[in-house]
């Protein structure tokens, strides 16, 4: 069988890496299985893409579609056109998409219209918030997906409610956590003077890139002020997503303990997270990683598609109103926070389960 694996943006790379490695292992065992890795080019700069291939030991993509830049529609269209061409030249038995980015949406549409099966890794999760492009990507992708590889019972329930037949739902766990567990022994302190001065559990890490938080300069400023006011002067390391950089610059924030840095490599970022007192974020993936590493995490969003990180993990939903943040930060500062209780199947073996299912279906 031939499988085409798609990756396009930063949060995709940690999700595909273990799947690629499981495919390579099957090949080494002599199984008749081929794969093509297609990079859509949605994220193209080194710090958002190339570095992850190196650190996570992902092979050079077989094709790069160069579909980065532009508006949502321009990007979707560019990837759709380029991926259709790729599929016509190299027709696989199945296309594997992961996560909830523009590439996930565009590539699933291109594949299904050519009557190629689609597998969605991280299928079935829902925030119910259609103001986020990611939610639209999830809904459209799942409406044409053949095989759902799910991370949680909540996802399974969502899919059953939508009428998806049981045999198409494969509850396998979380490939992002496969990567986290595999890479943990290699986590390393980032290079740079500020990082040499950080004491374990005496600093915060924050990330922000959702349009709702970063596109309005005044609300971005209000949130950063609330963060500074609630963290007792401890250092805050803020790797700035390209989307956030411009507005942040315009604000000209000047707080000696707030350290704006470039996006970090995976091993460096998670080194900092693992040793942090707490994490403040609007990311989805980061809430999964903090849970497994048992690090307190507050999410600056009104909803989440990853409710298990709240029920069983270390995540709390604060919302986007800066006034709501203080009580949560107070609890972290006081060392009063819930502990990770374990999330079913987030055990580092998800990719193996995915490949077992695919081998059984496409052998
Ligand atoms: N990440 C990273 N360096 C950074 C910030 C994040 O390697 O400077 C990793 C993080 O560990 C996680 C992924 O990027 O694996 C999350 O990506 P992002 O927040 O962009 O996407 P989301 O999960 O919100 O879709």
The preferred substitution site among 267, 283, 284, 293 for testing ligand 1, maximizing ligand atoms within 8 Å of CB, is 283
Q: For the segment 250-291, what is each residue's pLDDT rounded down to a tens digit?
A: 998 889 999 999 999 999 999 999 999 999 999 999 999 999
pLDDT bin (cut points 50, 70, 90) of residue 363 is confident
Query: How far is ligand 1, taken at its centre, from the CA of residue 286, in Å?
Result: 6
Structural domain range at position 251: 186-333
Q: Quote the pLDDT of residue 130.
A: 97
Q: Are residues 37 and 69 in the same domain?
A: yes
Nearest alpha-carbon partner for 59 in 27, 101, 30: 27
Q: Is residue 261 part of a domain?
A: yes
Q: Is residue 338 part of a domain?
A: no
Cβ within 8 Å of residue 261, ≥6 positions away: 190, 192, 194, 237, 238, 239, 240
Q: Quote the pLDDT of residue 18.
A: 98
310: Cα separation from own chain's centroid: 17
**Mean predicted confidence (pLDDT) in 25-48:** 95
269 lines ligand 1 (CB under 6 A): yes
Can you tell me the distance from the alpha carbon of 6 to that of 290, in angstroms, rounded to the nearest whole number? 26
Q: Is residue 239 part of a domain?
A: yes
Q: What are the beta bridge partners of residue 121?
A: 98, 149
Between strands 204-207 and 34-39, the pairing is unpaired
Instruction: Work out which ligand 1 atom sits closest to the CA atom of 14.
Output: 15
Contact predicate 284/304, CB 8 Å:
yes
Q: What is the ipTM of this complex?
A: 0.98
Q: Are residues 67 and 43 in the same domain?
A: yes
Instruction: Quote the number of domains for the chain.
Output: 2
This prediction has a pTM of: 0.97
Nearest alpha-carbon partner for 237 in 285, 189, 309: 189
Q: For the stretch 38-70, what's the b/e string if a residue is b when 16 or more beta carbons lie within 10 angstroms of its beta carbon?
A: bbbbbbbeebbbebbbebbebeebebbbebbee
Q: Quote the pLDDT of residue 254.
A: 86
Q: Are residues 166 and 30 in the same domain?
A: yes
**Mean predicted confidence (pLDDT) in 166-173:** 98
Q: For the segment 44-73, what is each residue's pLDDT rounded down to a tens digit?
A: 999 999 999 999 999 999 999 999 999 999
Asked if pLDDT for residue 246 goes beyond 90, the answer is no
Q: Is residue 179 part of a domain?
A: no
Backbone angles phi, psi at 322, to 5 degrees: -55, -25
For residue 310, what is the domain's CATH number?
Answer: 3.40.50.2000
Q: Are residues 201 and 310 in the same domain?
A: yes
Contact predicate 142/134, CB 8 Å:
no
16 lines ligand 1 (CB under 6 A): no
What is the biggest distance separating any 2 CA atoms in the chain, rounded to whole angstroms? 59
**Mean predicted confidence (pLDDT) in 115-124:** 98
Q: Are residues 13 and 87 in the same domain?
A: yes
Q: Which residues are catalytic?
A: 209
Instruction: Work out which ligand 1 atom sits closest to the CA atom of 239.
Output: 8
Asked if pLDDT for residue 20 goes beyond 90, the answer is yes
């Amino acid at each position: 069988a031939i499988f085409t694996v798609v990756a396009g943006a930063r949060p995709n790379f940690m999700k595909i890496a273990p799947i690629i490695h499981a495919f390579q292992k099957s090949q080494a065992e002599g199984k008749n299985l081929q794969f093509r890795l297609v990079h859509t080019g949605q994220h193209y700069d080194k710090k958002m893409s190339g570095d992850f291939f190196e650190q996570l030991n992902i092979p050079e993509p077989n094709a790069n579609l160069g579909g980065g830049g532009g508006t949502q529609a321009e990007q979707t269209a560019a990837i759709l056109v380029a991926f259709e061409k790729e599929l016509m030249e190299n027709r696989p038995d199945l296309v594997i998409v992961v996560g909830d980015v523009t590439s996930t949406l565009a590539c699933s549409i291109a594949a299904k219209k050519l009557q190629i099966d689609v597998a969605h890794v991280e299928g079935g999760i829902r925030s119910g918030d259609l103001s986020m492009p990611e939610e639209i990507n999830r809904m459209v992708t799942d409406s044409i997906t053949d095989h759902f590889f799910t991370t949680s019972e909540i996802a399974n329930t969502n899919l059953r409610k939508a009428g998806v037949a049981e045999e198409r739902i494969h509850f396998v766990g979380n490939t992002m956590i496969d990567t986290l567990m595999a890479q943990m022994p290699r986590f390393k302190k980032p290079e740079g003077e500020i990082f040499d001065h950080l004491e374990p559990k005496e600093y915060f890490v924050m990330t922000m890139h959702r349009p709702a938080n970063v596109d309005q300069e005044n609300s971005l400023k209000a949130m950063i002020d609330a963060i500074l006011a609630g963290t007792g002067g401890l250092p805050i390391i803020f790797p700035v997503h390209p989307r956030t950089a411009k507005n942040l610059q315009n604000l000209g924030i000047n707080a000696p303990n707030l350290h704006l840095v470039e996006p970090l490599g995976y091993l460096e970022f998670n080194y900092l997270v693992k040793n942090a007192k707490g994490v403040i974020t609007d990311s989805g993936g980061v809430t999964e990683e903090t849970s497994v590493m048992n690090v307190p995490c507050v999410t600056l969003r009104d909803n989440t598609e990853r409710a298990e990180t709240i029920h069983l993990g270390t995540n709390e939903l604060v919302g986007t109103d800066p006034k709501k943040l203080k009580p949560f930060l107070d609890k972290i500062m006081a060392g009063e926070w819930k502990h990770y209780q374990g999330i079913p199947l987030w055990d580092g073996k998800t990719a193996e389960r995915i490949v077992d299912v695919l081998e059984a279906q496409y052998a």
